[in-house]
Amino acid sequence: DLVMTQSPLFLPVTLGQPASISCRSSQSLVYSDGDTCFSWFQQRPGQSPRRLIYKVSNRDSGVPDRFSGSGSGTDFTLKISRVEAEDVGVYYCAYATHQSLTFGGGTRVELK
Protein backbone atom coordinates (compact mmCIF):
# COMPACT_ATOMS: atom_id res chain seq x y z
CA ASP A 1 0.00 0.00 0.00
CA LEU A 2 1.04 3.57 -0.69
CA VAL A 3 2.20 5.44 2.41
CA MET A 4 2.68 9.20 2.57
CA THR A 5 4.95 10.53 5.30
CA GLN A 6 4.97 14.23 6.12
CA SER A 7 7.56 16.16 8.09
CA PRO A 8 7.57 17.89 10.38
CA LEU A 9 4.35 16.98 12.13
CA PHE A 10 4.31 20.37 13.81
CA LEU A 11 5.78 23.55 12.37
CA PRO A 12 5.96 26.76 14.41
CA VAL A 13 6.32 29.71 12.05
CA THR A 14 7.04 33.44 12.23
CA LEU A 15 4.97 35.96 10.33
CA GLY A 16 6.77 37.14 7.23
CA GLN A 17 9.28 34.30 7.33
CA PRO A 18 9.44 31.34 4.92
CA ALA A 19 8.19 27.87 5.81
CA SER A 20 8.60 24.47 4.23
CA ILE A 21 6.81 21.13 4.56
CA SER A 22 8.09 17.85 3.16
CA CYS A 23 6.23 14.79 2.01
CA ARG A 24 7.72 11.45 1.09
CA SER A 25 5.90 8.71 -0.76
CA SER A 26 6.64 4.99 -0.36
CA GLN A 27 6.34 4.62 -4.14
CA SER A 28 7.25 6.70 -7.16
CA LEU A 29 4.18 7.13 -9.34
CA VAL A 30 3.48 8.64 -12.72
CA TYR A 31 0.01 8.59 -14.23
CA SER A 32 -0.64 7.17 -17.68
CA ASP A 33 -0.66 10.63 -19.26
CA GLY A 34 2.79 11.38 -17.83
CA ASP A 35 1.58 13.57 -14.98
CA THR A 36 2.61 13.04 -11.37
CA CYS A 37 -0.63 12.88 -9.42
CA PHE A 38 0.52 14.79 -6.35
CA SER A 39 -1.38 17.50 -4.49
CA TRP A 40 -1.26 19.69 -1.39
CA PHE A 41 -4.26 20.66 0.72
CA GLN A 42 -4.80 23.22 3.45
CA GLN A 43 -7.32 22.95 6.28
CA ARG A 44 -7.73 26.08 8.33
CA PRO A 45 -9.15 25.76 11.86
CA GLY A 46 -12.87 25.01 11.74
CA GLN A 47 -12.96 24.86 7.94
CA SER A 48 -13.14 22.20 5.28
CA PRO A 49 -9.96 21.32 3.44
CA ARG A 50 -9.17 23.03 0.18
CA ARG A 51 -6.65 22.14 -2.45
CA LEU A 52 -3.70 24.46 -2.93
CA ILE A 53 -1.52 22.64 -5.44
CA TYR A 54 -2.08 19.84 -7.96
CA LYS A 55 0.23 18.05 -10.39
CA VAL A 56 3.11 18.82 -8.00
CA SER A 57 3.42 22.53 -8.74
CA ASN A 58 0.19 23.93 -10.22
CA ARG A 59 -1.58 26.39 -7.95
CA ASP A 60 -5.36 26.25 -7.81
CA SER A 61 -7.35 29.34 -8.67
CA GLY A 62 -7.30 31.89 -5.88
CA VAL A 63 -4.27 30.43 -4.12
CA PRO A 64 -1.72 33.14 -3.29
CA ASP A 65 1.57 32.93 -5.15
CA ARG A 66 3.47 32.72 -1.86
CA PHE A 67 2.57 29.02 -1.97
CA SER A 68 4.68 26.85 -4.25
CA GLY A 69 5.07 23.12 -4.76
CA SER A 70 8.02 21.18 -6.06
CA GLY A 71 9.48 17.70 -6.18
CA SER A 72 9.50 14.50 -8.16
CA GLY A 73 9.61 10.75 -7.70
CA THR A 74 9.06 10.18 -4.00
CA ASP A 75 10.01 13.55 -2.44
CA PHE A 76 7.87 16.65 -2.55
CA THR A 77 7.91 20.05 -0.85
CA LEU A 78 5.40 22.79 -0.14
CA LYS A 79 6.93 26.18 0.47
CA ILE A 80 5.38 29.35 1.82
CA SER A 81 7.60 32.27 0.90
CA ARG A 82 6.33 34.63 3.58
CA VAL A 83 3.93 33.27 6.17
CA GLU A 84 0.75 35.21 6.85
CA ALA A 85 -1.63 34.76 9.79
CA GLU A 86 -4.26 33.12 7.55
CA ASP A 87 -1.83 30.32 6.74
CA VAL A 88 -2.29 28.73 10.17
CA GLY A 89 -3.81 25.27 9.90
CA VAL A 90 -3.04 21.73 8.88
CA TYR A 91 -1.46 20.88 5.54
CA TYR A 92 -1.86 17.53 3.84
CA CYS A 93 -0.11 16.01 0.89
CA ALA A 94 -1.84 13.46 -1.33
CA TYR A 95 -0.70 11.07 -4.03
CA ALA A 96 -2.79 8.95 -6.37
CA THR A 97 -2.17 5.51 -7.78
CA HIS A 98 -4.62 3.82 -10.17
CA GLN A 99 -7.21 6.48 -9.39
CA SER A 100 -7.01 5.90 -5.65
CA LEU A 101 -5.88 8.87 -3.59
CA THR A 102 -3.83 8.55 -0.41
CA PHE A 103 -3.36 11.41 2.04
CA GLY A 104 -0.47 12.09 4.35
CA GLY A 105 -1.03 12.46 8.08
CA GLY A 106 -0.80 16.25 8.06
CA THR A 107 1.53 18.98 9.28
CA ARG A 108 0.17 21.47 11.77
CA VAL A 109 1.37 25.02 11.14
CA GLU A 110 1.06 27.47 14.01
CA LEU A 111 2.45 30.90 14.80
CA LYS A 112 5.32 31.07 17.25
Partner 1 sequence: QLVESGGGLVQPGGSLRLSCKASGFTFSNYAINWVRQSPPRGLEWIAGISRLGDYAVYADSAKGRFTLSRDNARNTVYLQMDSLRVEDTALYYCAKDVNPPGIYGGNFWGQGTLVTVSS
> Which residues lie near partner 1 (CB under 8 A)?
31, 37, 39, 41, 48-51, 54-55, 60-61, 92, 94, 96, 99-103, 105-106
Nearer Cβ to partner 1 (86/99): 99
Nearer Cβ to partner 1 (17/70): 70
Nearer Cβ to partner 1 (48/112): 48
Least Å from the CB of residue 43 to partner 1:
8
Least Å from the CB of residue 16 to partner 1:
27
Q: How many residues in the chain? A: 112
